[in-house]
Amino acid sequence: MTKTTAITIWSGCDSDVEEAINAVIQAWGPYSAKSRRFSIFRLLREQLDPVWFDFCQRTSALSCEKLNQAWARYQNGRAFRGQQSCQELPLKGASPPSLLAQYLGFNELDWFLKTVARNAAERDIDLIPTLDSLRELAIACRTKQPKRLGKVRLLPGKEKCRYCDQLTELAVALANDDDSGLGRSSLYCSAHKPKKVLSDAVGGKYQKARRSQGAFDQELERLDFQSWAGIKSAYAKSGNPLVDEFIWRLSVHRRLTHEQHSEKLGTLETKLRWEARMMVDRRMTDRKKEIVALLCSGITQIEAAKQLGLKSRQAISKALQSIHADYRLDLHCQVAN
């Protein structure tokens, strides 16, 4: 076997797959599953997925039919391990590795590749080194941490303010070729910085944003899940189907999904953070999201009140008056089902 920085590539591994793994290793310094700007899933989608599809087409033991058989076997294994079924996810055995890792996690990707290897051993044992090398890659990606940059201790993906989409004070200083970093925050912009230089007073905007930190993180996470899921289905993972539908409709309307966005990933990240901050600041609660989602389906306010267990239509009407016009998706946009 040959060893790399963090991944073992087993002897006998397919040459194209080995080249793709090495390409991932060369580029993956700042990438991780926790970094939004440098997403490890994007790196795998660019470097590994095309090679994986080509390898499957060249290998009869990894045809769509065989992979779906392995997928069914993997599903049974999940049930045996006491985990929920993933039939409701837009996945199947022939899905690219980056998509499986994004939805299920790298640990589950390792389990799936292990299942594929078990099936392959019954037909073509020569595939085992390639599949084992891919399992090594999945395990390495699971524990991958973003690499720190230079002497300013600024993490990739952390150049934005903790509470909004603006650059942090330190990021602005670096953009202006001022690398001293003295007195500049690496977590907040100038507006949301807790304390100004030579002052003990805590800023009002910082206090307000801190109180809503949990809500901001929650909305950002939902938008992020939906941005990767795309425009075809609602997948914000809020636990509430109506809230998921609202996030889906909003993402499509605002062009916040990866398949709609032709600009760089960092630009989309900025839009997601701005949208999450606006929803929190404008007090767009889950109940308001439910009301808008129901009205988007074409039902009346009376029917919406009944579905939500409210006593009268007036409760719906009063809630609509407090919803910002930007979120009245029932009035100015429709998503085709």
Distance of alpha carbon 128 from alpha carbon 130, whole angstroms: 5
Domain boundaries, the chain: 2-142, 148-203, 213-332
Report the pLDDT averaged over residues 252-259: 87
Supply the pTM of this predicted model: 0.49
CB neighbours of residue 198 within 10 Å: 6
pLDDT-based confidence at residue 3 (cuts at 50, 70, 90): very low
pLDDT tens track for 191-213 = 777 766 555 556 667 777 777 78
> Residue 266 to residues 2, 175, 181: CA-CA distances in angstroms?
35, 15, 23
Distance CA 258, CA 266 (A): 11
Q: How far apart are CA 193 and CA 185, in angstroms?
A: 7
Give 213's contacts (C-beta < 8 A, 6+ positions apart): 162, 163
Token couple for 151: 């002497």
Distance between start and end Cα atoms, the chain: 51
Q: What would the pLDDT profile of 285-294 be if each residue is shown by its tens digit?
A: 999 999 999 9
H or E segment to which residue 3 belongs: strand 2-3
CA dihedral 77, 83, 88, 89 (to 10 degrees): -80
Amino acid code (one letter) for 218: Q
| CA-atom Rg of the chain in angstroms | 24
- Asked if the model's pLDDT at residue 38 lies above 90, the reply is no
d(CA 83, CA 112): 14
Task: Give the pLDDT mean for 160-167.
Answer: 73
92: amino acid identity, one letter: K
Q: Give the pLDDT band of residue 154 (cuts 50, 70, 90).
A: very low
